[in-house]
């Protein structure tokens, strides 16, 4: 079976600094796959390369069996890849409703209104605040809006970059619930998340990036059980030592 997304030996450089080196990974339709790694490991660069915001120096990015390595970002969105960047990047002076309409700009005219209504069903708080300026929403509500706006384009694949960043635990829990709900509607997800424990609890599989290279890969359960990963990313070395 052809993966929904496949990266083949992808390398990305910012000037003389190599951000990714021969990164190969795949995401099958219906999965949640997580990318783990420290700050600066190349996780966000991987998502930006997939969505066409940066160009690989080498390698190929395949989406639905088609080479999209050199495709423009708007063409990648139109092909079915949504990207929720770190920091959300909503339009703070636009209303909730206006932000959603912006997200639906690649949708057919007849698809926009039904997708807006689906967003309000999935995120009732956004429906309650549809006329409110997006910049006045709470952090958790802004993250929900960023996800809902990306879903307006009808993506088959959703790239999520640090969705729980800066959120209180209760709001982070709600965001993870939303991510699972989105996946259950049939949307495949590639997730970058600082909370490795929660990410592995949500994902089917994962990859670990260190200084731009994949150093580990496997099922979420196998990664969560790996002593090196538990020590480096889950903060469980001391607990393990006590057993």
Residue 236 confidence (pLDDT): 54
**Domain of 117, in residue numbers:** 89-154
User: What is the distance between the alpha carbons of residues 168 and 170, in angstroms, rounded to a whole number?
Assistant: 6
d(CA 239, CA 50): 37
Q: What is the spatial distance between Cα 135 and Cα 184, in angstroms, rounded to a whole number? A: 29
pLDDT in the model for residue 129: 96
pLDDT, average across residues 39-53:
96
| 102 plus 216 within the same structural domain | no
pLDDT at 240: 44
Structural tokens at position 241: 């030592």
Q: Are residues 146 and 165 in the same domain?
A: no
- The mean per-residue pLDDT over the stretch 104-125 comes to 88
Instruction: Please state the domain count of the chain.
Output: 2
Find the DSSP H helices in 1-138.
Answer: 43-50, 73-79, 96-103, 109-122, 124-128
Which pLDDT value is given to residue 111? 87
C-alpha to C-alpha distance for 153 and 73, rounded to whole angstroms: 13
How confident is the model at residue 237, as a pLDDT?
46
Residue ending a domain, choose from 154, 182, 207: 154
Which residues on adjacent β-strands are paired with residue 218?
206
Do 17 and 133 belong to one domain? no
Considering the domain architecture, whether residues 123 and 175 belong to the same structural domain is answered as: no
> Are residues 168 and 234 located together in one domain of the fold?
yes
Q: Is the confidence at residue 48, as pLDDT, over 90?
A: yes
Interatomic CA distance for residues 93 and 227, integer angstroms: 47
> Where residue 13 falls among pLDDT bands split at 50, 70, 90?
very high
Q: Residue 99: is its pLDDT beyond 80?
A: yes
Q: Which residues of 177-193 are buried (b: 16+ CB within 10 A; e: fewer)?
A: ebbeebbeeebbbbbbb
b/e map of 66-83 (b: 16 or more CB within 10 Å)? eebbebeeeebbebbbbb
Same domain, 172 and 233: yes
């Amino acid at each position: 079976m052809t993966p929904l997304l496949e990266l083949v030996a992808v390398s990305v450089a910012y000037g003389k600094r190599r951000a990714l080196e021969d990164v190969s990974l795949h995401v099958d339709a219906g999965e949640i796959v997580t990318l783990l790694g420290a700050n600066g490991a190349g996780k966000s660069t991987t998502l930006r390369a997939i969505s066409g915001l940066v160009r690989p120096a080498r390698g190929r990015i395949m989406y639905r069996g088609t080479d999209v390595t050199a495709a423009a970002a708007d063409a990648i969105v139109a092909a079915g890849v949504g990207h929720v960047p770190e920091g959300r990047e909503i339009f703070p002076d636009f209303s909730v409703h206006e932000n959603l309409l912006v997200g639906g700009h690649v949708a057919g005219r007849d698809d926009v209104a039904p997708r807006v209504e689906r967003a309000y069903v999935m995120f009732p708080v956004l429906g309650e605040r549809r006329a409110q300026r997006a910049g006045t929403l709470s952090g958790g509500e802004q993250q929900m809006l960023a996800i809902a706006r990306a879903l307006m384009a009808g993506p088959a694949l959703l790239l999520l970059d640090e969705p729980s960043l800066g959120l209180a635990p209760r709001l982070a829990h709600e965001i993870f619930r939303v991510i699972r709900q989105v996946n259950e509607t049939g949307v495949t997800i590639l997730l970058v998340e600082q909370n490795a424990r929660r990410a592995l609890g949500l994902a089917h599989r994962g990859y670990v990036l260190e200084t731009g290279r994949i150093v580990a890969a496997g099922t979420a359960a196998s990664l969560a059980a790996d002593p090196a990963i538990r020590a480096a990313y889950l903060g469980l070395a001391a607990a393990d030592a006590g057993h």
